[in-house]
Amino acid sequence: MPLVLHVDSDRWREHLRSTWNPDIIPVAKGNGYGFGNQRLMAEARALGARTIAVGTYFEVPPDYRDDVVVLSPWRPFLDVPQGKNVIHTVSRLADLVSIPAGSRVLIEVMTSMRRHGIGARELRHTMLLNALDRIRFEGWSLHFPMGAGGTSANLREAAELGKAALAVRRGPLWVSHVPAQKLSDIGENVKLRMGTGLWLGDRGALSVRATVLDVHSVRRGERVGYRQRRVSGDGHILVVSGGTAHGVGLEAPTAAATVRQRAIAMAKGSLDAAGMALSPFTIEGKQRWFAEPPHMQASMLFLPSTVAPPAVGDEVSVDVRYTTTMFDKVSMD
């Protein structure tokens, strides 16, 4: 009785077809945006894509025949696949000198992300210029931030850095986090790596549901769960599929940027400190409280007596982050 990602396959694939074009490089990395990387690679090929991007060398399929761009930078101490279809990303001058001759290479240029990349001032360094003649140069890679400043700032930076890089060696510009319809503002021969906007761009085609595994009536003050917490009132304890092994109840640090977002984060933190945590499971239109922190495969919820409990075997809706959730099953409805 699983945690299931339900996909309206006709609607989802229509979104893929209307979004993808030959300038877009589909990204399949991590948990495959909830779908699994193998499924995404098959869908990318069905769209007509003959190049995909993955996050790490561990995600390169050993039997994949089309081109694979590895987004994580190459390092000399890594044991990496050497297939002719693998395109490496190099982000340091020292690595550009060390990578085996003839390797297919994207050279990453440092952007305002400040994560990986060769600085703009180093683009005419002798080490880089000499290395260009010993590698199979595939273009320049530019990875931009998301959020505040967003679109316009990224486009300006892309145009500026692209101009500097192309003055050194002509080739494609591979970019992330700029709008597909604005690629011509950056220049010619621009390729856009796209993951979230492609696979998760139409959330209405996706829904997540968990199975109700058990229902138990409780009275106020009775103890429940591993930690034997007392329930706050009469009602029911629901045991539902989906726990920490799936990613349920696990959170990344908040990206709160506005005063309102920070206030919400503070209020939520106060509730957590008091042992009260709102679950992602929705019953009769409302998110319900965890009875205690979720377990590995299941979660215990408290449902007040004013709400009729679902039956064992019923499904309830779940609001989860697709990129951090491991579903038991993906149902292409």
Cα dist. 114→65, 160, 181, 250, 254 in Å?
33, 16, 25, 27, 20
Structure confidence at residue 147 (pLDDT): 63
Of 138, 168, 201, the one marking the end of a domain is 201
pLDDT at residue number 270: 34
* 8 A C-beta contact, residue 186 and residue 192: no
Predicted pLDDT of residue 81: 87
Assess contact for 290 and 272: CB atoms under 8 A.
Answer: no
Which has more confidence, 272 or 263? 272
Whether 89 is covered by a domain: the verdict is yes
Angle of helix 9-19 relative to helix 37-47, nearest 10 degrees, comes to 60
Q: Are residues 76 and 185 in the same domain?
A: yes
If asked whether residues 227 and 302 sit together in one domain, one would say yes
What does DSSP assign to residue 166? H
CATH number for the domain spanning 179: value is 3.20.20.10
- Contact in structure between 111 and 143 (CB atoms under 8 Å): yes
Tell me the percentage of the chain whose pLDDT exceeds 90: 86
Distances (CA, A) of 183 to 32, 158, 173, 320: 25, 10, 10, 31
Report the number of distinct structural domains present in the chain: 2
pLDDT digits (tens, 9 = 90+) for 87-140: 999 999 999 999 999 999 999 999 999 999 999 999 999 999 999 999 999 999
Domain boundary among 156, 171, 201: 201
Global pTM value? 0.90
Same domain, 197 and 82: yes
DSSP state letter for 95 = H
Enclosing domain of residue 270: 204-332
Residue 324 DSSP label = G
End position of a domain, from candidates 179, 201, 223: 201
pLDDT at 171: 97
Mean pLDDT of the region 164-180: 96
The answer as to whether 25 is a domain residue is no
Q: Are the C-beta atoms of 271 and 277 separated by less than 8 Å?
A: yes
DSSP three-state, residue 177: coil
